[in-house]
Amino acid sequence: MTSPHIGRLFSAVLLAVGVMAATESAAWHGAGFPGFFVMPNRVVPSIALPGWSGVAEGRPLYQHVILAVDGVKTAGPGDVYQAAARHRAGDDVEYTVARDGAIESRVLPLRTFGTGEYLAIFGLYFLSGACYLALAALAVERRASNPTLHGGLAAVAWAGAAFALTAMDLYGPGRLFRVHAAAEALLPAAFAHLALVCPRDHLARRPGLLPLVYGVGCAWMVVYEVFLYDPRAYSVVHNAAQGLVVVPVLALTAMLALARSDALPDGVRVVRPLLVGSFIGILGPAIVLGISGVSGGSVPVNACAWVSFVFPLAAMFAVRSGASQPA
């Protein structure tokens, strides 16, 4: 596991990023809103709430590229939002969009981004990120009791915190787009790391597995970053990244479930809360991400934030239980 000083510094940087993103996200509250988000590469993410543009009709704009608004070409999300905001709430706005080489025109009413929507999107992103960041801080401080387990928990916590906190910036202004993509690409590696050390330490006999896991993760991150601003390629890589995270999460949850029957008394205090947290807080979200990835982004993934904070809370309870061995 990394030194405590480096770990604290990393957590402090993520905290600063989260506070900045949360502060800037406040501009969404009460703003004119197309009924969908746009990322810096002009792709509409698979994010929605009931009543948003195209959702009720079964024709959301997920993974479409915004080419123009009211016939005027757009170069980025700022152009889309500004052009739409020239209308009043309820007015129809024309969007020229493209997906898989097909171009079409969609006329959608302008909305106002309300308080409930703000809390359901940005509020839950912040809650999830803050819980993961708290887990990272606790894992670093309790590293001496079980460096292997706490190292895996810290890796997942940092990746989860970076992913959730930078999501608040993803739809505008988008300065943390590359950081968010890097965190998403490294999530499967982080969960694989945790699965290798919890509930049993598989790295003791095979220490070379961890560099291999992160080597593959870093290679995938490079691929992601290369194609980040290529809308067509981005959707393919993004959907694959969402599908990949399911594998280590399933493995972790299955091993935790199987470990319950033969865990040592002290280990049960760690295994049981982690199993509950994994089942509710990461297995469900991972399945949603996987289905969305396999379906080409047709399933909105923001629902993951509604329960994702459960895992870090359960993990913190497990760490504070004081057990020295996971099982």
**pLDDT, tens digit, for every residue of 132-173?**
999 999 999 888 778 888 899 999 999 999 999 999 999 989
Cα(96)–Cα(158) distance, integer angstroms: 38
Mean pLDDT value of segment 79-88: 92
- Indicate the fold that domain 30-112 takes in CATH: Pdz3 Domain (2.30.42)
At 95, give phi and psi (nearest 5°). Answer: -120, 130
Comma-separated ranges of CATH 1.20.1070 domains in the chain: 4-24+115-320
Q: Which residue has the tokens 């708290």?
A: 134
Residue 266 has pLDDT above 50, yes or no: no
List beta partners, residue 93.
108
Cα(153)–Cα(181) distance, integer angstroms: 21
Comma-separated ranges of CATH 2.30.42.10 domains in the chain: 30-112
Most confidently modeled range among 174-188, 234-248, 253-267: 174-188
Three-class SS state of 167:
helix
pTM of the model: 0.91
Cα distances (angstroms) measured from residue 252 to each of 59, 196, 259, 270, 283 = 36, 8, 11, 14, 9
Percent of the chain at pLDDT above 70? Answer: 94
Per mean pLDDT, which range of 15-19, 225-229, 235-239, 263-267 is the poorest? 263-267
Q: Which residue has the tokens 């009413």?
A: 109
Q: What is the pLDDT of residue 265?
A: 43
Q: What is the pLDDT of residue 212?
A: 97
Residue 312 has pLDDT above 70, yes or no: yes
Domain 4-24+115-320 has CATH 1.20.1070: yes
Average pLDDT of the chain is 90
Is the previous residue joined to 285 through a cis bond, with omega within 30 degrees of 0?
A: no
More confident residue, 184 or 262: 184
Could you report the per-residue pLDDT of 5-46, keeping only the tens digit for each?
A: 888 899 999 999 999 999 999 999 999 999 999 999 999 999
Q: What is the pLDDT of residue 323?
A: 44
Is residue 2 very low, low, confident or very high in pLDDT (cuts 50, 70, 90)?
Answer: low
